[in-house]
Structure 1
Amino acid sequence: MTGKAYIVGVGMTPFTKPESGDRQYGDLAAEAGGNALADAGIGYDAVEQVPVGYCHQPSTAGQRAVYQLGMTGIPVYNVNNNCATGATALMLARQFVEAGVNDCVLALGFEQMRRGALGAGAGSGDFAASPVARHYGVMAATHGFGKTPPTAQLFGNAAREHMDRHGTTAEQLAAVGAKNHRHSAHNPYAQFRDVYTVEEILAAPVVHHPLTRLQCSPTSDGAAAVVVASERFVDAHGLADRAVEIAAQAMATDTEESFASGSCTDVVGTPLTRAAARQVYEASGLGIEDVDVIELHDCFSVNELLTYEALGMCAAGASGALVADGATTYGGRWVVNPSGGLISKGHPLGATGLAQAAELVWQLRGTAGERQVPGARTGLAHNIGLGGAAVVTLLRK
């Protein structure tokens, strides 16, 4: 990699409940992509390649979506990396630009989902053949396998382990949900904008103990897009005032460390996050202490706590106290998930990682409105998918 890559345009649609409207995924993608191009002040004819992320649509749905932006004959790549799909599309766009292959790449992600909880793995009919069968097998050996949604079981059991080992409380887990629902009240793109107290979150229906419904990300429809450009393109088009540098980015996938301990906290991706974060810090010369704002993958409240620890924001076992003390909201050391996160903003799998990038770009430009983190100059995104992949991205203005 020889060049720098910059985000010069971002766009997204509001995230909504599945089956709540008559718009198709192509319409959502066209809106998000069109918004990103307009934000960059360029036309689709300037784009040279398009990696497109989604998990629940048929093969070549990426082309179907992109054709609504234009039909210029450029390469379109269909990307599927479970819940890390959006950040994976962004990573491909960055690599194309940094390597000097292209000067302008559009990363696009979308999802049109069904109502209800996700199963054992998108598209997996036979459980034994599921891409995440080994992950669930580790859980089943220690905790059994119940009738609640499988992913909720995995993260719920990770929460129980954290509580048993470190004394983390149900109130601290609920504080994550309360914080993120509070943040989303100011996000016009969020699926949910209601504010809840810790007590109301604890009183919500239990999905898998100790996780209640208001601590779990919903299924969602939506799309997001990012325009990634080279330094040469930025200069030629006068985009320096809006360009945000991708200072470093890394992806980690499972090693035996994910499974050897037999712990659900490892199976859900803590080692992946730790490895990707370490690579990003080394590549950028920055540490978590240099970061102002964070968008991380809070698919369940416990995953936000596990991610605090894996990113180096606190010592192992101290994440519950970190959120309870207000260190991860406005006025604290970091602002985590100012968008509302997956729990409240929503989680259309293919769009999630790109929506995180969009939020950080708005924050670093100082254009996030009521959600603005004062003086934000450096942002970190964390997007993870079981099966498994974790992408950590460091942005700098």
Structure 2
Amino acid sequence: MPYNPRKAFVVGVGMTKFDKPRGERDYPELALEATTKALLDAEINYDQVETAAVGYCYGDSTCGQRALYQMGMTGIPIVNVNNNCSTGSSAFVHAVTAIMSGQADAALALGFEKMAPGSLGSAWDDRANPMEGTTAQLFEIEGEKEYKDEEFGPFSARIFAAAGLEYMEKYGAKQEHIAKIAAKNHTHSVKNPYAQFRFPQTHEQVAKARKITRELTLPMCSPTSDGAAAAVVVSEEFVQKHNLQDRAIELVGMGVSTDTPKLYEDRSRIELAGSDMTRRASSIAYKQAGVSPKDIQVIELHDCFAPNELITYEALGLCGKGEAHKLVDAGDNTYGGKWVVNPSGGLESKGHPLGATGLGMIFYLTLQLREEAGDLQVKNVKNAMSHNLGLGGSCVVTVLRKPGFYKKGKTTADRLGYNVANEVRTVSEADLAKVRSKHVSDYLPPALPESKL
């Protein structure tokens, strides 16, 4: 018998500002802010949540429980997820799957990260590195001796820089195209109050900035960040029962992929950056949604480094083989073009707290489809797509749209009391009281530090 999954809808989203790691806010506080906002947006109580998935890369094994016990100790399943940079979207997949399979009518996806300043590194030196195959092949392809020590840079940056270099060598793209992508994203983020960086840069400024690898300058690289984001996902029956038609956004396509043998067999630096995962995941998502790339208007794309945005245009089918730089030249990746890619500023500019990144994408796209994205709003959005990639590997591509029953009613501003898209606020004890379960232990520390009240 063919499987006929139920439909899933996002009815609440919430997010903190993504910010430079300073040690000022611990993950429970970040998680509480994002979760409270998502529940306020959905106008439901935590007692109605039947299951939760929590994503983070850095932390002990049950940080998800520690974060959500503040909302209530209701005994629901809480699954902790770690899938490298696609962790937030992987938590979203868990929540969506619970709805589609009929295991729950209301699920919560939460992602957060409290990161150390500086480049990413591993805390584990006593076991096999999960990316040792990628490491070995990159050294073989490029020739380790070609690099001077000071040109190596962080390994993740080196992988994506090498992918961009191969694209330029094969198809005639220039370093200027990568600089233009970074400049575009930094310009977009000026209007995003949730972004870590909010100052525009020209492509000339990007090109002349401090080098991080042989090919990449600092503005071409995503920073380490602290932050959290959350989404409430429910069934159609839940939407109708609670009259949530004025905020429900339907998930119409979801593709999830890991690496194929192309990763190593093609001996390609582009493939080492995970392009085949993107091709596979996007193909699945397009087919489920019944759309093609030309039917998408806005995309939140995983630009951990600017070259990845360049090579991903082709992998998502936005252009023909070797034509990504032509898309840049035509301005078809920004307002007024065929697509608006990363109106939020992307990872390079809005920040990249690994566990929160994918759910942050869902936050921005939900607002776009509700026509509540404020200064970031793209005109006439019918279909919106997110692309969240983690080397090692995992890729999640989603397609979202308004359902047929969607109707104008209360806005996010009505529910939270301010223009969410254009302003960031923390939550109060009164906000928390509206959505918190009655089942909270007195042994837990205060949910909000006194300095935040």
TM norm. shorter chain > 0.5: yes
The 1-side partners of 2:297 and 2:154 are apart by 35
What residue number does 2:351 align with?
A: 346
Q: Within 5 Å, which residues of 2 pair with 1:216-365?
A: 216-365=221-370
The answer on 1:107 being equivalent to 2:102 is no
Structure 2, unaligned stretches of length 5 or more? 403-453
Matched with 2:199 is 194
Q: Is contact 2:55–2:87 with CA below 8 Å preserved after alignment?
A: yes
Q: 2:84 aligns with which of 82, 88, 93?
A: 82
Tell me how far apart the structure 1 counterparts of residues 10 and 269 of structure 2 sit (CA, whole Å): 35
Residue range with higher mean Cα deviation, 277-286 or 236-245: 277-286
Give the TM-score of the pair, scaled to structure 1: 0.97
SS of match in other structure, 2:185: helix
Deviation at 1:125, TM superposition (A): 2.0
Q: Check whether the contact 1:124–1:131 (CA below 8 A) recurs between aligned residues.
A: no
Structure 2 length normalisation: TM-score?
0.85
Aligned twin of 1:395: 400
1:240 and 1:380 mapped to 2: Cα distance?
Answer: 21
For residue 80 of structure 1, what is the amino acid of its counterpart? N
Map 1:12-27 onto structure 2 (within 5 A): 12-19=15-22, 21-27=23-29
Q: Which runs of 4+ in 1 moved over 3 A?
A: 144-147
Residue 69 of structure 1: how far off its partner (Å): 1.6
Mapping of residues 147-158 of structure 1, within 5 Å: 147-158=152-163
CA–CA separation in structure 2 for the residues paired with 1:230 and 1:139: 45
After superposition, the C-alpha distances for 1:132-159 in whole angstroms (9 at most, x for unaligned) are 1111111011114454111111111111
2:5 aligned with 1:2: yes
Equivalent residues of 2:54, 2:81 under 8 A apart: yes
Structure 2 Cα separation of the partners of residues 123 and 375 of structure 1: 46
Q: Is the 8 A contact 1:297 1:383 kept in 2?
A: yes
Say whether 1:134 aligns with 2:133. yes
Q: Is the 8 A contact 2:164 2:310 kept in 1?
A: no
**Equivalent position of 1:116 in the other structure:** 118
CA deviation after TM superposition for structure 1 residue 2, in Å: 2.2
Aligned twin of 1:55: 57
The one-letter amino acid of 1:63's match is: Q
Aligned partners of 2:214, 2:169: CA distance in 1, in Å?
13
Q: Report the 3-state secondary structure (helix = DSSP H, G, I; strand = E; otherwise coil) of the residue aligned with 2:229.
A: strand
Question: What SS class does the counterpart of residue 250 from structure 1 fall into?
Answer: strand
Whether the aligned pair in 2 keeps the contact of 1:184 and 1:344 (CA below 8 Å) is: yes
Instruction: String of CA shifts for 1:340-366, please: whole Å, max 9, x gaps.
Output: 000000000000000001000000000
Superposed CA deviations along residues 20-60 of structure 1, whole A, max 9, x for unmatched, are: x5210010000001100000001111100110000011110
Task: List per-residue Cα deviations over 1:164-212 (Å, max 9, x = no partner).
Answer: 1111111100011011001100100000001000000000011112211
Partner secondary structure for residue 239 of structure 2 = helix
Instruction: Please give the per-residue CA displacement for 1:275-324, whole angstroms capped at 9, x wherever unaligned.
Output: 11111111221111111100010000010011110010001211112122
Helix, strand or coil at the partner of 1:190: coil
Cα drift, residue 123 of structure 1: 3.8
Shift of 1:241: 1.2
1:185 is paired with a residue whose SS is: helix
8 Å contact from structure 1 (residues 182, 194) kept in 2: yes
CA contact (8 A) 1:60 1:78 kept: yes
Instruction: Give 1:92's match in structure 2, choosing from 84, 91, 94.
Output: 94
Given that 1:25 and 1:110 are in contact with CA atoms closer than 8 Å, whether structure 2 keeps it comes out as yes
Alpha-carbon distance, 1:224 to partner:
0.2
1:207-232 C-alpha deviation (Å, 9 max, x unpaired): 11221100000000000000000000
Residue of structure 2 equivalent to 1:71: 73
Larger mean CA deviation between 139-148 and 262-271 belongs to 139-148
Q: What RMSD over aligned residues (CA atoms) do the two structures have, in Å?
A: 1.1
Structure 1 residue matching 2:160: 3-state secondary structure: helix
SS at match of 2:191: coil
Code of the aligned partner of 1:352: T
Q: Does 1:30 align with 2:32?
A: yes
- Amino acid across the alignment from 2:299: I
Amino acid at match of 2:112: F
Instruction: Give how far 1:67 is off.
Output: 1.1
Distance 1:2 1:143 in 2: 46
Which consecutive unaligned segments of at least 5 residues does structure 1 have? none
Partner amino acid for 2:94?
Answer: L
1:214 aligns with 2:219: yes
The percentage of aligned residue pairs carrying the same residue is 50
Secondary structure of 1:116's match? coil
Distance 2:352 2:329 in 1: 24
Does the residue aligned with 2:228 lie in a helix, a strand or coil? strand
Contact 2:164 2:311 in 1 (8 A): no
After superposition, the C-alpha distances for 1:113-139 in whole angstroms (9 at most, x for unaligned) are 0001112xx44324x711111111110
